[in-house]
Structure 1
Amino acid sequence: MPPAARGRGAPPYPWSGPVIARLHGVLLAKQPEEVVVDCHGVGYRLLCPLSTFLGLPEVGESAALFVHTQVREDAIHLYGFVTEEERHLFRLLLTVQKIGPRLALALLSGLSRAALVSAIRAGDAARLATVPGIGKKTAERLVLELRERVGKGEVEGGPTHDSEQDARSALINLGYRPEVVDRALEKVRDKGGATDLNAWIRDGLALLGR
């Protein structure tokens, strides 16, 4: 229905609230930043953090994702998460000034949910600033706006991750042989290691591509 037909003052779109809240189907494809889920013959592409990628089953198996739907004038974007808690934190991050979906995903990829909440509650802007794309001012804004809004239970209830082991799993899932991945990550470790999960994967891929 064209906007004029809905009358003056009507919203620009004939829906409100989330369009898709959860998807359950067959996992058709997965990469560290996006997945495709087949639901009754329709393939849905979802952007996701690395934590979700690492928690997914193998391609061809059944998968369920909690979804955040972003409706824009020119597109509908879907963001997938393995837990409701992760989606809740993603939405909380979006309430911070100048934090869009890309940076929110970067935060959830660079730090585990528990580590991210802990850093915010502790006012540890320096740790938040280790995430690629998050500068000092943005990190300080995260602390200022969210410190009193994230719950203590999220710190204790969130999963803990070893960044190197998570990076190993991600690289193997990309098709690299385990022994080759181990050699690459050993070289990263010999150089002093990496600051976060994204850095482990990035540095590992740089060595694997040689």
Structure 2
Amino acid sequence: MIGQLTGLVSHIEGDHCLIDVHGVGYVVSASTHTLGQLPRPPEVARLLVETIVREDAIQLFGFADADEQAWFRLLTTVQGVGVRVALAILSASRPALLWQAVQAEDKAVFTQAAGVGPRLATRLLTELKAKVAKMPAPASLSGQPLAPMSHGGGGVSGAHPHGGVEQDALMALEGLGFKRAEAWPIVNRIIGETEGAGLDVVIRLALKELAR
């Protein structure tokens, strides 16, 4: 099994690149994010690699970082998500946003990817919820600190501790054009920090931060 490649980037094309390791060229499929991180040919690059062995082929999938590789493995455990769909999801959204989307039950983040319709997006949220709850929270999302999912110190939880106000605020912000996964950490934190905050207060404070 190939777990990592370090070599010259011979060329980048479409959804794959060619890595020359001591004269042997490896065709490596990757997300647009990973391909965008590669240096211009013919400079040296290092890629983490997932090797998929099938009866008729051996495929290599490359990743710029361990988070993306972990999500590739996670996504392909969902029924109906093959390696190509997993790469499409990772091309459309970074791991931190996917983590938030699962917590916020935001299908829109997944349906941005080619090959993912509403039904598959629902299955992704359902099957990933318990698995993502066992993963550590990403350090940040687009520069915003993530709100903790649980105040009890018992790890990450997928529950919505703030009930109706949180969901109503998220729906209102969605109606104003903000993505649910982007609004969720802000709303969650505001409710946690502002004891007894009503819906109007939560929306006003959230809008103030989102407008930045």
TM-score bin (small chain) = 0.5 to 0.7
2:108 pairs with 1:126? yes
1:148 Cα deviation (Å)?
2.5
Q: Amino acid of the residue matched to residue 116 of structure 1? A: L
For 1:15, the equivalent position in structure 2 comes to none
* Residue deviations 1:137-173 (CA, integer Å, cap 9, x gap): 110111111122223523x34667xxxxxxxxxxxxx
Q: Amino acid of the residue matched to residue 98 of structure 2? A: L
1:31 Cα deviation (Å)?
2.4
Distance in 1 between residues matched to 2:87 and 2:141, nearest whole Å = 16
2:36 pairs with 1:60? no
Count of paired positions:
142
- TM-score w.r.t. the length of structure 2 is 0.63
4+ runs deviating over 6 angstroms = none
2:137 pairs with 1:153? yes
For 1:102, the equivalent position in structure 2 comes to 84
For 2:204, the equivalent position in structure 1 comes to none
Structure 2 unaligned spans of 5+: 144-178, 180-212
For residues 159 and 86 of structure 1, do their structure 2 counterparts lie closer, same or farther at Cα, with a shift above 3 Å needed?
farther
1:32 Cα deviation (Å)?
4.2
For 1:69, the equivalent position in structure 2 comes to 51
* Residue deviations 1:121-146 (CA, integer Å, cap 9, x gap): 21111332222210111101111111
Structure 1 unaligned spans of 5+: 1-18, 161-194, 196-210
- Of stretches 123-132 and 103-112 in structure 1, the one that deviates more from structure 2 is 123-132
Q: Percent identity?
A: 39
For 2:63, the equivalent position in structure 1 comes to 81
1:57 Cα deviation (Å)?
0.8
Identify the structure with bigger relative contact order (alpha carbons < 8 Å, sequence gap 6+). Answer: 1
2:132 pairs with 1:140? no
Distance in 2 between residues matched to 1:32 and 1:64, nearest whole Å = 19
* Residue deviations 1:17-48 (CA, integer Å, cap 9, x gap): xx100000111011241011000110000000
Where 2:130 maps in the other structure, the secondary structure is coil
Q: CA RMSD in A?
A: 1.8
For 1:22, the equivalent position in structure 2 comes to 4
Contact 2:93/2:109 (8 A) holds in 1? no
2:80 pairs with 1:112? no
Distance in 1 between residues matched to 2:6 and 2:142, nearest whole Å = 23
For 2:18, the equivalent position in structure 1 comes to 36
